[in-house]
Amino acid sequence: MTYKDYLTIVISCFALTISIISLIISIIQKNKETRRTIRKNLSDTLENVTKINIEFAKLKHNEQEYNTDNFIELRRIYNSQKRILIAHADYLTTNYDYMVTDIDCNLLAGAYSDIGDYTKADNYWIKTIQKSASNSVKHMNLRGYARFLFFQGKFQLGRSKYEESLKVELPDTDNYRRQLTDTYIMWATVEREFNNESETRRLIDLAKSYCSRIGHSKMRQEMDERINNFDPIDDK
């Protein structure tokens, strides 16, 4: 082979290498764009679910007309829209789980609960907890799941999830003392709704105990007011 032949081979190999590198870069960029598009699609879909929830809340605010024929028809339309949206969001979260966050799962858990698919709602609550971005978020997600379980009649499991949320390791600061106080109040509220007065009383006492440890005076006062505004408990 002559020098010219070697030079031709080298140039060809170099050109091939450049082409391969360009192809790889193009594929990476395309994958990034695809992920960005899917993520935006999921966010937009769940945003629309939230908008429907807001419209539902507005309808419920009008108690006098909520059960009229026109409002019932409007609620059916909203429910149909919601079912279409959550089916699409469910498809995206199932097939692209690696880009799904805990708040995505939380919204879907609530949406499925709203339309009466409690099995799907339960699955998404579990995913919500698994994908919690921090211990603080995990604490809040666990107590949300606990409330859901209570309304499914799974009282003992619900209580165990409240207990689990309270055992999540959190810094011993005023902000987290307030969060724990809030959790005890929320748990007490659910127990009250299901007529468990003795447990309600115990939880309110624990809320008072955590509240008393809050050093920031205004923060402590706010939580004191929440506890004091809790319906009086009959001690008879």
**Residue 69, both tokens:** 């024929």
Mean pLDDT of 162-190: 96
Instruction: Give whole-number Cα distances, 122 to 133, 142, 186, in Å.
Output: 19, 12, 20
Q: Is the pLDDT of residue 179 over 60?
A: yes
Mean pLDDT of 65-71: 73
Instruction: Give whole-number Cα distances, 7 to 10, 13, 17, 25, in Å.
Output: 5, 10, 15, 27
CA distance 85 to 87: 5
Mean pLDDT of 59-79: 76
CA distance 121 to 113: 5
Tell me what the pLDDT averaged over the chain comes to: 88
Instruction: Give whole-number Cα distances, 136 to 14, 145, 168, in Å.
Output: 54, 14, 8
CA distance 70 to 54: 18
More reliable by pLDDT, 211 or 70: 211
Q: What is the per-residue pLDDT for 55? A: 85
Mean pLDDT of 185-211: 95
Q: What is the per-residue pLDDT for 95? A: 94
CA distance 41 to 89: 9
Mean pLDDT of 147-173: 97
**What is the per-residue pLDDT across 91-137, written as a single tens digit (0 to 9) for each?**
999 999 999 999 999 999 999 999 999 999 999 999 999 999 999 99
Nearest to 59 by CA among 114, 112, 110, 121: 114
Q: What is the per-residue pLDDT for 14? A: 67
Are the C-beta atoms of 52 and 85 separated by less than 8 Å?
yes
Q: Is the pLDDT of residue 68 over 90?
A: no
CA distance 53 to 47: 10
Helix and strand tally (H, E) in the chain? 9, 0
Given pLDDT bands bounded at 50, 70 and 90, which one contains residue 235? very low
CA distance 217 to 223: 10
**Residue 127, both tokens:** 């995913």
Q: What is the per-residue pLDDT for 1? A: 60
Q: What is the per-residue pLDDT for 213? A: 95
**What is the per-residue pLDDT across 6-63, written as a single tens digit (0 to 9) for each?**
667 667 776 777 777 776 777 777 777 778 889 999 999 999 999 998 888 887 777 6
Q: How far is CA 184 from the centre of its chain?
A: 20
